Amino acid sequence: MEGIKFDEANVSTKLAEDYLKKNPIFKSKGFADSDRFTLNDHKNTIYYTNYTRNLGAVVLTKDVSDLPLKLMNLAKKIEENVELFCQLELLLRKIPLEDTERIDLKLMTQNFMYHSSLKSSKEATSTARQITFESATPLVALGFISQVLMAHMPKVVIECTKETAPVTTLFIELCHQVGLEGKVLLAILPEVIEGGSSKVTMDFTKMGEFLNGCVGVVSGKSDIDSAVEYFLDASSRYPWALRKIFVQENAVERFTTTMTWKEEKQMEVTSAGKSKSVTDRELSYFFGEKTFLMKPGRDSTEHDNNVVILEAFRTVKELIGLLANEKPFALSIWCSDISETNELAHNVDASIVWVNDFANFEGPPRSSQAFFSLIDIYFSSQHIEQFPEMAELTKLKESWLELSVEQRRAVVRDALAKIDRNQSKKMLDVLDDMTTEMESFVYLTKNMIATGIELQPQAMMPSAMYDHGLESSIMSYIIKGGAILLHIPPRDLPVKSKDISYMFYDNLRNMAGPVLFLEKEYKIGDVSVIRHPIKRYKVIWTNFGTIFAN
């Protein structure tokens, strides 16, 4: 099995250099230039724009039926320019070629292809209007334009700085070539607009869903040589940087021996090793820019991306508890025991799981949603205070999940049938044709299998339900196991009670459905609830070549 290799120092960047020479001047797209400009390290003139971020109301686009084909064509355009993107990222931001190709561009094109196949834009609910793209922002962030446009936003503005102006310009040019001019704009700014990520601006570097990074696990039953090889070559970029590696106690000696051998071989080749005492040798390992620290109890949440904490664990049960505290969004498990692997992969709340692999995103377009659905959830979520009624809602949801999918569908049907309205009769027909099974897929190659599953939905507090009536996505969400928290102050009840949505929820509540009415005002807190029905996916990529080879 071949690990992810570092780029050689003499890799050609001729394509990127030619692109910069061909484009001596970079300007914003869709905004007027100011009288301010600067030069980058390659002597390109970069003009800044007078730009004010739009935080006010927008008029949504009614028809997005032409977008899927344009997104498909955009994916093809990016695939045609993979080498140019990779070389620009290496030349301007020192990002390894393989990182850009295997991670950023792979996920981006998969996301565009996924949205090109959607039957309905109801599946996209982003409220973003701007995407911040600074020096530390991963290229994959640009892929989120499909969620923004499919959510009926009239346009999306990419806010970049001089460091990222060339690569964002290339991306904008491709967008315009497929017919997205006027919809995808570029604002080149002298500095990033402060304020962090908000519900109208995506600043990827500030999004809490990705701050905990990736975590590795090395079981006592694993190919330790391959695990070490992959972890040494793993990306140090946000958000893919390894934060911590958990090593099972009965494998610690083999793991540290392998690390020591790898370090010594590196020192022989480079003649640039760091001198260490015996105590240091037991605690730390240096590979290139990375430092691996075997120091029990050290916190992995506050350090740079080149520092990886090593920590021992005894049992899988203990490990699941440790991982619950870490909250990684991606997990790399190295284990040859199938039952142990499954126990870990399905009991840890990580959307991305690799088994005997790392940073492999091969798979169908839908597999990209393990990553992008986390961004969807960010833009659909709000945080409220914890109050006693939440415990009641949890119990209602648990009881609801004890019913089969068909039983839940029958209850929802009865709740609709009790409403004597034409719309409810139409919704009954929609319900009969609706697919409400949790989505899943399996993708198989010679050495790898990718398994995708839709996760149980979290609690939802609809923010504008009564303005849009009762939607099929809400019914599907409830049947799949979602729970509804409705905030209806007593002063609003006379009006709301006449709405078909209220009638449906009230009927469902009286039938022991997962619905709770909240009358009192609430404050901002730590409990996350979503405002729209959002699908969250988990994808498990398993490289089984190692298991059978050993």
H or E element, residue 226 = helix 224-233
Does residue 550 carry a pLDDT above 60? no
What number of residues does the chain have?
A: 550
Q: What is the pLDDT of residue 11?
A: 84
Tell me what pLDDT residue 2 has.
44
Task: Order across the sheet with 33-39: list the strands.
Answer: 25-26, 45-49, 33-39
Answer with the residue of higher pLDDT: 121 or 206.
Answer: 206
Q: Return the axis-axis angle of helices 224-233 and 252-270, rounded to nearest 10°.
A: 50
> What is the distance between the alpha carbons of residues 89 and 82, in angstroms, rounded to a whole number?
11
> 29: which DSSP letter?
B
Q: How far apart are CA 432 and CA 232, in angstroms?
A: 53
Q: Of residues 227 and 486, which shows the higher confidence score?
A: 227
pLDDT at 524 over 50: yes
Comparing 54-58, 94-98, 411-415, 439-443, which segment has the lowest mean pLDDT?
54-58
Q: Which residues contact 396 (CB under 8 A, 6 or more apart)?
A: 483, 512, 513, 514, 515, 516
Q: Is residue 446 packed enough to be buried (19+ CB in 10 Å), middle (13-18) or exposed (0-12)?
A: exposed
Q: What are phi and psi of 437, to 5 degrees?
A: -75, 145
Tens-digit pLDDT profile for residues 68-108: 999 999 999 999 999 999 999 999 999 999 999 999 999 99
Q: Name the 3-class secondary structure at 306.
A: coil
| Measured distance CA(169)–CA(211) in Å, rounded | 27
Q: What sign does the dihedral 80-104-441-151 (CA atoms) show?
A: negative
Look at 255 and 278; give whichever has higher pLDDT: 255
Cis peptide before 388 (omega within 30 of 0): no
Q: What pLDDT is attached to residue 206?
A: 82
Tokens in use for 355?
């088994």
Buried b (16+ CB within 10 A) or exposed e, 458-478: bbbbbeebbeeebbebbbbbb
Provide the pLDDT for residue 1.
40
> In this predicted structure, what is the pLDDT of residue 297?
53
Q: What is the pLDDT of residues 353-364, one digit of tens each?
A: 999 999 999 999
Q: Which residues lie across from 312 on neighbouring strands? A: 247
If you ran DSSP here, which 8-state letter would residue 38 be given? E
For the cut 90, the answer to whether the pLDDT of residue 470 exceeds it is no
pLDDT score, position 113: 97
Residues in CB range of 215: below 8 A, 6 or more apart: 242, 243, 244, 245, 246, 323, 326, 328, 330, 331, 332, 350
Return the number of other C-beta atoms located less than 10 Å from residue 63's C-beta: 8
pLDDT at 268: 66
Asked if 104 and 138 touch (Cβ cutoff 8 Å), the reply is yes
195 has pLDDT over 90: no
Give the tens place of pLDDT for each residue, 265-320: 777 665 554 555 444 445 788 888 888 988 655 554 456 788 999 999 999 999 99
> Which of the pair, 111 or 424, is modelled with greater confidence?
111
Lowest mean pLDDT among 44-58, 185-199, 435-449: 185-199
Neighbours of 201 (CB within 10 A): 21
In the predicted structure, residue 160 carries a pLDDT above the cut 80: yes
For residue 295, the model assigns a pLDDT of 66
Give Cα 319 to chain centroid, integer Å: 24
Q: Which of 149, 172, 150 is nearest to 159 (CA)?
A: 172
Q: What is the pLDDT of residue 405?
A: 93
DSSP conformation class of 199: S
Q: Which residue has the higher pLDDT, 387 or 469?
A: 387
SS3 per residue for 377-402: HHHHEEEECCCCHHHHHHHHHHHHHC
Residue 3 pLDDT exceeds 60: no
At 461 the pLDDT is 81
Over residues 495-520, mean pLDDT: 86
The bridge status of strand 201-203 relative to strand 130-133 is parallel
Torsion of CA 427, 429, 435, 438, to 10 degrees: 40
For residues 256 and 304, which has the higher predicted lDDT (pLDDT)? 256
d(Cα 210, Cα 216) in Å, to the nearest integer? Answer: 15
Average pLDDT over the chain reads 86
Give 19's contacts (C-beta < 8 A, 6+ positions apart).
Answer: 84, 88, 166, 170
Contact 231, 258 (CB under 8 A): no
Looking at residue 64, what is its pLDDT?
86
The tokens for 454 are 């839709």
Residue 105 near residue 113, CB atoms below 8 Å:
no
CB-side neighbour CA atoms (13 Å) of 375: 28
Amino acid at 447: N
Does 239 sit behind a cis peptide bond, omega within 30 degrees of 0 on the bond before it?
yes
Burial of 41 (0-12, 13-18, 19+ CB in 10 A): exposed
- Which domains, from first to last, does the chain contain? 13-203 (3.40.605.10), 209-269+280-359 (3.40.309.10), 378-437+456-536 (no CATH)
What pLDDT shows up at residue 465? 45
Structural contact between residues 7 and 99, judged by C-beta atoms closer than 8 angstroms: no
Residue pair 260/230 in contact (Cβ under 8 Å)? The answer is no
Q: What is the pLDDT of residue 119?
A: 65
Q: Does residue 250 register a pLDDT over 50?
A: yes
Identify the weakest region by mean pLDDT among 96-110, 328-342, 493-507: 493-507
Percent of the chain with pLDDT over 70: 87
pLDDT at position 381, please? 82
Instruction: Find the mean pLDDT for residues 10-33.
Output: 94
Q: What mean pLDDT do residues 183-205 have?
A: 80
- More confident: 466 or 124: 124
Which single residue is written with the structure tokens 């979290």? Answer: 458
Tokens of residue 49, six digits: 């724009």
Query: What six digits make up the tokens of 335?
Result: 């284990």
